[in-house]
């Protein structure tokens, strides 16, 4: 067989480009219309000490005569007692045994809602298990750390007309608090500082504003088990996707990705963060 008959591969395999070209310090600029370029959360962040019953009551309205329906948490009739038999839920008077969530109107046993709240990360908010309406402000358990953000003079694939917002997250390892899976045990923090990218467009800045709110509410990272390495008690991303691949898209966390900003806005909305939350950048 002659060499000419061999199949020839004309396209080179795509190359992974994780980082932007080098940027000199003088080329790093603040993000237009943002007053700061760094955000810190300290270990002293206090949490409001409300009992689970007090939290749940805040979002409930009284129901005089419960309908002939089952509670969708315990599957027992709303007219009868809660089917929840576990620990951590005190007795309740007949008059208060069923409540209606103020905004969406879904009804549950009071004790079932308290049990559900206790099972979650007790963040002061409550989510209707039926329609997912969030009551109160959802906050997470992101450990103390730092978020920096600025503009670098390079464009992302798919965004040739604008520069790039670079976010640098830094979270050091530490000891887990009461809000974490294993209080008192150390947690690791791999791959920090983590660099992330957004186009410096109007929409990209809007996403950044909401990410700052998410950061303040401790919702960007969490402590848990890494889905990529299986390591437990480590800092992990918390359901708001970030782009960590600057110049290619081989990991699925890169560009171009036309739907990315809308996806992030939707993920933030699920966390209870919308444009109204971002009017003030502190």
Binding residues (CB under 5 A) for Zn ion: these are 71, 73-74, 82, 104, 106, 109, 112, 128, 130-131, 133
Note whether 140 and 109 are within 8 A (CB).
Answer: no
- H/E run at residue 269: helix 260-270
Q: Of 82 and 164, which CB lies nearer to Zn ion in the complex structure?
A: 82
Report helix angle 260-270 to 202-216, nearest 10.
Answer: 30
Reference 156, options 255, 242, 21; nearest CA is 255
Q: How far is the CB of 206 from Zn ion (least distance, A)?
A: 28
Task: Count the neighbouring beta carbons within 10 Å of the beta carbon of residue 222.
Answer: 20
- What are the helix and strand counts (H, E) for the chain? 4, 13
Q: Of 118 and 133, which CB lies nearer to Zn ion in the complex structure?
A: 133
Q: How far is the CB of 121 from Zn ion (least distance, A)?
A: 20
CA distance readout (Å), 174 to 143, 180, 189, 233, 235: 8, 12, 8, 10, 10
Q: Of 109 and 166, which CB lies nearer to Zn ion in the complex structure?
A: 109
Note whether 158 and 258 are within 8 A (CB).
Answer: yes
Q: Of 71 and 213, which CB lies nearer to Zn ion in the complex structure?
A: 71
Q: Of 133 and 244, which CB lies nearer to Zn ion in the complex structure?
A: 133
How far, in Å, CA of 265 to CA of 192, rounded? 24
């Amino acid at each position: 067989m002659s060499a000419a008959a061999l199949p020839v591969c004309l396209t080179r395999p795509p190359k992974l480009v994780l980082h932007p070209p080098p940027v000199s310090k003088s080329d790093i600029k603040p993000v237009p219309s943002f007053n700061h370029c760094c955000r810190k959360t300290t270990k002293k962040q206090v949490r409001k000490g409300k009992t689970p019953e007090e939290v749940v009551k805040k979002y409930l309205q009284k129901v005089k005569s419960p309908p002939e329906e089952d509670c969708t948490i315990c599957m027992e009739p709303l007219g009868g007692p809660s089917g929840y038999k576990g620990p951590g839920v005190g007795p309740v008077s007949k008059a208060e045994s069923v409540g209606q969530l103020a905004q969406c109107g879904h009804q549950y046993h009071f004790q079932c809602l308290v049990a559900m709240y206790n099972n979650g990360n007790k963040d002061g908010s409550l989510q209707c298990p039926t329609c997912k309406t969030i009551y109160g402000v959802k906050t997470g358990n992101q450990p103390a750390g730092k978020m920096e953000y600025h503009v670098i003079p390079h464009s992302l694939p798919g965004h040739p007309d604008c520069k790039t917002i670079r976010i640098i997250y830094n979270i050091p390892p530490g000891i887990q608090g009461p809000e974490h899976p294993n209080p008192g045990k150390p947690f690791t923090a791999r791959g920090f500082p983590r660099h992330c990218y957004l186009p410096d467009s109007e929409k990209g800045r809007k996403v950044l504003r909401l990410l700052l709110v998410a950061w303040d509410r401790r919702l960007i990272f969490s402590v848990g088990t890494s889905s990529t390495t299986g390591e437990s008690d480590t800092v992990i991303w918390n359901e708001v996707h970030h782009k960590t691949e600057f110049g290619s898209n081989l990991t699925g966390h890169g560009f171009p990705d036309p739907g990315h900003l809308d996806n992030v806005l939707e993920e933030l909305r699920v966390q209870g963060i919308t444009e109204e939350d971002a009017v003030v950048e502190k």
